[in-house]
């Protein structure tokens, strides 16, 4: 009887061991797959950016292709508006486009934003739609028959690769000045503007993704330093406060050696997720490199940065992370001082981080010397 029980127990142990091995292999395979996909997507984005940049540099100045090759959406919109407003009989023009993120941009020339809003038109989803002709009539006691208001307009869809990307319209403050000739010229312009807008939209999307760290989804090191430099300049210019948090995981090298680099990457991704759960929408969270992270805090003082560092530390240690177990962080914070540039601010926060390590880790140290455990 005892032998049967022992054989059964050994069988259960073997099954559990096999299950654990299969689970580990599956997790490692899934992690490797995600890393491969992230690497491939990053390479594809880099190639797309290079192709778009080359195309823009090859366009002759002043040519029709220059509009289509521009990579700046605001510049494309401005050039398109200027060209459409130059159509004989047109007194104003209006452009509307949607970014890949769903943000609607509206630009006008020759009319105020309020007037553009009052005269705006929406084109329905109709692949066969060529144009919409507009006629505006006003109460005579409000606007005279020949008053300064918009009286006529023509709107055409902006398309690229068969899909709608926006709308372009011209307006006149006189009656009978916009006809077939103006429509044909507006359509010719729209044929160039549609692909130009789509080109700029794709570039913006690629740039946005290129600013992200593929592993964690946070902003990357390059974006971090660009943002820090920009925010430092803005804070000095407008006499505003700015703070910075730098932190890394305590003993992460030992954790990597113990559980392997692929599992270590999963730990970093989870740390990033927990950090994002506590930062404000105005804060800029980045992976600075390796297991080091940074958060730029606009309109914030040193104590605000210390409180954020403590919230991040709590979010990370409150629950074990996979095979790495319970993790702690060391953090350094600094507030912008008069005369600081972005390098000096970063170096002071970095020195505070190293001071936290020297004091025993698992704590936050401010650049002015204060520390909290």
Catalytic residues: 291
Decide: helix, strand or coil at residue 207: helix
Decide: helix, strand or coil at residue 42: helix
Whose structure tokens read 């330093």?
225
Q: Distance between CA atoms of 57 and 30, rounded to whole angstroms?
A: 41
Looking at the DSSP assignment, which residues form a beta bridge with residue 5?
Answer: none
Q: Distance between CA atoms of 363 and 310, rounded to whole angstroms?
A: 8
Terminal C-alpha separation, the chain: 57
Nearest residue to 282 (alpha-carbon basis) of 225, 309, 242: 242
Q: How far is CA 189 from CA 60, 163, 234, 298, 350, in A?
A: 18, 17, 38, 42, 53
The secondary structure of residue 122, as a DSSP letter, is -
Q: Distance between CA atoms of 327 and 362, rounded to whole angstroms?
A: 9
Q: Distance between CA atoms of 218 and 204, rounded to whole angstroms?
A: 17
| Contact partners, residue 243, CB within 8 Å, separation at least 6 | 297, 300, 301, 302, 304, 305, 333, 334, 335, 336
Looking at the DSSP assignment, which residues form a beta bridge with residue 160?
Answer: 163
Whose structure tokens read 């989870």?
270
Is residue 286 within a helix (H) or strand (E), and if so which, with residue range? strand 284-289
């Amino acid at each position: 009887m005892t032998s049967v029980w022992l054989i059964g127990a050994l069988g259960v142990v073997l099954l559990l061991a096999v299950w654990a091995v299969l689970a580990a292999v599956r997790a490692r395979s899934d992690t490797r797959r995600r890393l491969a996909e992230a690497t491939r997507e990053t390479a594809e984005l880099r190639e797309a950016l290079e192709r778009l940049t080359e195309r823009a540099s090859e366009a002759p100045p002043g040519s029709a292709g220059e509009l289509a090759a521009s990579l700046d959406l605001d510049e494309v919109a401005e050039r398109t508006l200027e060209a459409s407003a130059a159509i004989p009989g047109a007194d104003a023009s209006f452009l509307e486009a949607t970014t890949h993120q769903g943000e609607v941009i509206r630009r006008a020339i020759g009319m105020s934003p309020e007037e553009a809003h009052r005269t705006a038109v929406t084109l329905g989803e109709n692949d066969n739609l060529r144009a919409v002709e507009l006629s505006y009539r006003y109460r005579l006691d409000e606007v005279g028959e020949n008053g300064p208001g918009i009286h006529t307009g023509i709107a055409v869809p902006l398309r690229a690769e068969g899909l709608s990307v926006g709308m372009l319209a011209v307006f006149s403050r006189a009656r009978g000045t916009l006809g077939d000739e103006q429509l044909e010229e507006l359509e010719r312009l729209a044929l160039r503007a549609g692909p130009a807008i789509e080109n700029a939209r794709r570039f913006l999307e690629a740039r946005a993704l290129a600013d992200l760290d593929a592993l964690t989804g946070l902003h990357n090191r390059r974006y971090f330093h660009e943002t820090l430099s920009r925010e430092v300049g803005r804070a000095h210019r407008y006499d505003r406060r700015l703070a910075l948090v730098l932190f890394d995981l305590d003993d992460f090298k030992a954790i990597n050696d113990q559980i392997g680099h692929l599992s270590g990457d999963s730990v970093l991704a989870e740390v990033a997720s927990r950090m994002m759960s506590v930062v404000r929408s105005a804060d800029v969270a980045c992976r600075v490199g390796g297991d080091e992270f940074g958060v730029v805090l606009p309109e914030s003082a040193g104590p605000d940065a210390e409180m954020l560092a403590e919230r991040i530390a709590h979010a990370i240690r409150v629950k074990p992370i996979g095979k790495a177990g319970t993790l702690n962080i060391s953090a350094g914070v600094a507030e912008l001082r008069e005369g600081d540039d972005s390098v000096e601010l970063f170096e002071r926060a970095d020195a505070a981080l190293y001071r936290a390590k020297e004091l025993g880790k698992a704590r936050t140290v401010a650049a002015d010397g204060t520390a909290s455990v």
